Structure 1
Amino acid sequence: MSQNGSNGSVAEPLMMYGGAFHPAIGGETFVSTNPADGSIVARIPFGGEEDARRAVDAAVEAFPGWSGLTAAARAKHLHRVADLLEEQRNEIALLITQEEGKPQVEAQGELQLSIDSLRWYAEEARRAYGSWIPDPMPGRRLLTVRQPVGVCGAIIPWNVPCAMIFRKAAPALAAGCTMVLKPAEATSAIALRVAKVFVEAGLPAGVINVVTGKASAIGNVFLNDDRVRKISFTGSTEIGRLLLRGAAERVKRVSMELGGNAPVILFEDCDIEASVRAVAALKYLNAGQACIGANRLYVHEAIYDEVADRLEQLATAMQVGDGTQAGIQMGPLVDFKAVEKVEELVADAIQCGAKVRAGGSRMQGQAYENGSFYAPTVLTDVPANARLCREEIFGPVAALYRFSSEEEVLHVANNVEYGLSAYIFTENMDRAIRVAERLETGMVGVNEIRIGAAEAPFGGVKESGLGREGGREGLDEYLETKLIAMRVKS
């Protein structure tokens, strides 16, 4: 993947640590490309262990000064970063579409979540309260204080390349931690563009650092350098397991937001038109490349055919193309490897007996020939032995399954190793509460697909991860609680 040399026709951003911009120490670069047409977006420094160590050095040096600031002072810095994101949001949103592929309306939504995270944690930092504890012993006082964990390493996914920076960095910086970010190679230009915003905002040197390059080399520095006290990772369960093993060797604190296999349950009493529109929006969000996206669509047998017909109509009518163009509802997948994975899953489902109601192949035509486009797809009569039922699809494929009872659907919905998100559509609120409580997931939407907010905790159970991002819980991930016991003379 790495390539030497330069090309004056494309951007050549530099990695950032210690408040300054640097090429890779070894001089290597690699290119990020536009998944809509294969054009080069930027040439990125391909760093390794030494680059990561220098970034950690910078974060360690910055930690005493940053953690020593008042929460109000840190809040001003975060608000300044948010102000600059507001001013530059159109430019950054365009880069998100060019490098990751999602339509502009989704890129703008990602920028808004980034801004919301900064502003929320700027204020939440002021509420990192300790406590006085009623003491059972006379002449002693017990109190707790909250202190920052220390230097943190963060590994960012490609599918939400901007917002995930701030879902991690905003609470870390608000708590008084310093951080080294490692973005996904596919979307490194976005992270380096954001690095410029951090510098322009005047954050002290070393408080936030961005290193691009070889994932295993940079990850090893995060794992093996004892000065890095915490790792926050968003990505596949497979890589998460590797990081957890490495972190266990050093008893290092971790947060993990891993894979999902979200069940969506449409009961017979749901508002069919509103529910199917919501399901389509959820399923084809970011071309299906969302960890909380719809993966398994369980539809009650009484409404199955009607739901399948309506979903087919919506999928067939969807406008697919370059997300920079007006009216585009769905863009490409991130690369051709992702397309091949979707093709494998669809072929397996068909071989098992599933029927293709819409899509089922790559997009055809001159507008799509150089891009990694896959058609919005609807599969019906998907059998339980299809890989689609067990694996995260991460593509624009709606797989429909029939069910007849509440107990049946709860059993199949929970019978996977993942537990990130789930969705229920019903007009019966007794059932909604009952089912929501029994679903083995960290988040549940009831007649609602928008389950993320800066103010709310985000995360899963089982093999979908550890810890939470967002909300008050997100700040707790970057704070330690220290007990102070004091002898008091009477």
Structure 2
Amino acid sequence: MTDWKARAAALYDGSFRPMFIDGAWCKGRSGKVIEARNPANGDLLATVPQGDAVDMDAAVAAARKAFLGPWSKFTPFERQALLLRIAEAFEQNWEDLCLSDTLDMGMPIQRTLGNSRRVLGMLRFYAGQAVTIHGQTIQNSFPGEIYSSTVREPIGVVGAIIPWNAPIAGSIWKIAPAIATGCTVVLKPSEEASLTVLMIAKIMQEAGLPDGVLNVVTGLGTEAGAALAQHPGVDKIVFTGSTATGQAIARAATGNLKHVSLELGGKSPVIVCRDADIDQAVPVAAMSVFANSGQICIAGSRLFVAREIHDEFMRRVADYASNLKIGQGIETDTDIGPIISARQADRIAGYLAAGPNEGAKVLAGGNRADSPALQGGHYIQPTVFGDVTDDMSIAREEIFGPVISALPFDTLDEVVERANATPYGLAAGIFSTHLGTAHKLAHRIKAGSVWVNMYHAIDPVVPFGGVKMSGYGREGGIEHMQEYLDTKAIWINTD
């Protein structure tokens, strides 16, 4: 059995970890650093540079040089081979990558280890896609006189900004399609969780990634992130994070009319119909929120339950929540790990207080978790609220914590209207044993992804993204590749 505590001590010892620009490891112009602390206990893991606009200029210049230079000569087959080597390197280093995520942002180690199929699948899927890029021959209005066709070309330098809640998968979802299409990347990880992204850069460099194809600038969102979003040398911005930040990035990108893809917040509904299989639905509905301590954009935090089964269902969800183990992420039996930071824990605690103040009833949890074993960390009990109404803040606002709001409903027409009455549209879940009911609800719910009798399923071949204020653009599937390509029309006079 792996001794995760011993491996953790060997992996991060509080030392400085430089950022990565043009194949070199750099301290950053300002000399300022950001502390990376373990949210489970407050221990210092490492320090990273607090990059600024000058560092971002250097990274964008390196990405542009690589894009116009040797990288542009790589054939689709060579890009495919590179991605396959990276996948092999990830497989060999998988436990260290997962441990890094667990230490840096708190996700339980069993959950990070379980993401291997998704992450390695992404790398190999995009490797396959690298050799499928093609244009079309078009039959125009001048047959025999003018030949017309299209080619698909890499969009250029991609600026990627990712959040702290899933650094491994979040990074690969941005980097892999860029490599597959021949783009280059400047990646700004969250200041709350940068260490795994730096490890990813090292692994990719050792796998043969050419200099400048990937650059990682650590720093604050208000400094390095803002500089990347508005940089005139960036051709496309891809961002995952809050809706408010996504709006700011979209405004900043107008300077040179960058292409923009945004995967933003959500307040996703989970609908449990009266004919649902309760034994199946209870744990899935609960973990649609409690997974990763609720720090997931697709959390099914609005739990709509048919009135006929509401009381029994919510009693069982509350019992399930009360029996989840709260602990440090490196403990293999942990169900609920820490919240990323004291600031985020305080924000969630504000909603725990707001619920009862607005009339909701606490069915489970409702407080911070503060046992002696959790000292120094940021923990919130998995919480279930009953007697919730649609106008309460806990039912309207994205909490990004382990908090469920239960809402009874009477008819399918009613629940569709209420489920859609939100500015968000990222995901939804439906539980029903009636195929017709499931189909009808799935088509009527306004969301980018709808899961039926399941939740959280994400696969490289299936597109993922939101509608309304949950963003635009898709990640995954062939649609994702198109986000990194431009179409050029070519006309040839053959007369």
TM-score (norm 2): 0.95
Code of the aligned partner of 2:251: R
Mapped partners of 2:257, 2:96: distance in 1:
41
Aligned counterpart, 2:7: none
Q: Is the CA contact (8 Å cut-off) linking 2:324 and 2:335 kept in structure 1?
A: yes
Q: What does residue range 334-483 of structure 1 map to in structure 2 within 5 Å? A: 334-483=340-489
Pick which of 403-412 and 347-356 moved more: 347-356
Code of the aligned partner of 1:325: E
Deviations 1:250-309 (A, max 9, x none): 211111001111000000000001011111221111000100111100000001011111
Aligned counterpart, 1:484: 490
Q: What does residue range 150-161 of structure 1 map to in structure 2 within 5 Å? A: 150-161=156-167
Work out whether 1:38 is the aligned partner of 2:35.
no
Code of the aligned partner of 1:462: K
Q: Is the CA contact (8 Å cut-off) linking 1:352 and 1:385 kept in structure 2?
A: no
Q: 2:155 aligns with which of 132, 149, 158?
A: 149
Mapped partners of 1:220, 1:33: distance in 2:
24
Q: 2:251 aligns with which of 234, 245, 249?
A: 245
Q: Is the CA contact (8 Å cut-off) linking 1:354 and 1:382 kept in structure 2?
A: yes
Mapped partners of 2:402, 2:485: distance in 1:
38
Work out whether 1:91 is the aligned partner of 2:96.
yes
Q: Is the CA contact (8 Å cut-off) linking 2:273 and 2:306 kept in structure 1?
A: yes
* Alpha-carbon shift at residue 165 of structure 1 (Å): 0.5
TM-score (norm 1): 0.96
Aligned counterpart, 2:8: none
Aligned counterpart, 2:311: 305
Q: 2:300 aligns with which of 294, 306, 312?
A: 294
Q: Is the CA contact (8 Å cut-off) linking 2:219 and 2:225 kept in structure 1?
A: no
Provide the secondary structure at the position in 2 that maps to 1:228: coil
Work out whether 1:116 is the aligned partner of 2:116.
no
Aligned counterpart, 2:28: 24
Code of the aligned partner of 1:95: S
Mapped partners of 2:296, 2:213: distance in 1:
29
Aligned counterpart, 1:125: 130
Provide the secondary structure at the position in 2 that maps to 1:392: coil
* Alpha-carbon shift at residue 111 of structure 1 (Å): 4.2
Pick which of 335-344 and 467-476 moved more: 335-344
Mapped partners of 1:88, 1:191: distance in 2:
13
Mapped partners of 1:399, 1:434: distance in 2:
24
Provide the secondary structure at the position in 2 that maps to 1:294: coil
Inter-CA distance 402–224: structure 2 relative to 1 (3 Å threshold) = closer
Aligned counterpart, 1:4: none
Q: 1:78 aligns with which of 80, 83, 108?
A: 83
Code of the aligned partner of 2:152: R
Mapped partners of 1:388, 1:26: distance in 2:
41
Deviations 1:191-214 (A, max 9, x none): 111111121111110000100013
Q: What does residue range 181-260 of structure 1 map to in structure 2 within 5 Å? A: 181-260=187-266
Aligned counterpart, 1:68: 73
Mapped partners of 1:331, 1:405: distance in 2:
37
Question: What fraction of aligned residue pairs are identical, expressed as a percent?
Answer: 39
Code of the aligned partner of 1:310: R
Provide the secondary structure at the position in 2 that maps to 1:265: strand
Q: Is the CA contact (8 Å cut-off) linking 1:379 and 1:398 kept in structure 2?
A: yes
Aligned counterpart, 1:52: 56
Work out whether 1:135 is the aligned partner of 2:150.
no
Mapped partners of 1:73, 1:441: distance in 2:
37
Aligned counterpart, 2:3: none
Pick which of 11-20 and 132-141 moved more: 132-141
Provide the secondary structure at the position in 2 that maps to 1:284: helix
Mapped partners of 1:283, 1:226: distance in 2:
39
Q: Is the CA contact (8 Å cut-off) linking 1:110 and 1:160 kept in structure 2?
A: no
Provide the secondary structure at the position in 1 that maps to 2:134: coil
Mapped partners of 1:180, 1:111: distance in 2:
24
Provide the secondary structure at the position in 2 that maps to 1:128: coil
Q: 2:326 aligns with which of 320, 325, 330?
A: 320
Mapped partners of 2:111, 2:493: distance in 1:
57
* Alpha-carbon shift at residue 353 of structure 1 (Å): 1.2
Mapped partners of 1:443, 1:405: distance in 2:
22
* Alpha-carbon shift at residue 368 of structure 1 (Å): 1.6
Code of the aligned partner of 2:282: V
Mapped partners of 1:413, 1:215: distance in 2:
32
Q: Is the CA contact (8 Å cut-off) linking 1:259 and 1:464 kept in structure 2?
A: yes
Code of the aligned partner of 1:23: K
Mapped partners of 2:431, 2:15: distance in 1:
46
Q: Is the CA contact (8 Å cut-off) linking 2:110 and 2:332 kept in structure 1?
A: no
Aligned counterpart, 1:103: 108
What is the aligned-residue RMSD (CA, Å)? 1.3
* Alpha-carbon shift at residue 113 of structure 1 (Å): 2.4
* Alpha-carbon shift at residue 369 of structure 1 (Å): 2.3
Number of aligned residue pairs: 482
Inter-CA distance 326–221: structure 2 relative to 1 (3 Å threshold) = closer
Work out whether 1:14 is the aligned partner of 2:34.
no
Code of the aligned partner of 1:288: G
* Alpha-carbon shift at residue 9 of structure 1 (Å): 4.4
Q: Is the CA contact (8 Å cut-off) linking 1:349 and 1:383 kept in structure 2?
A: no
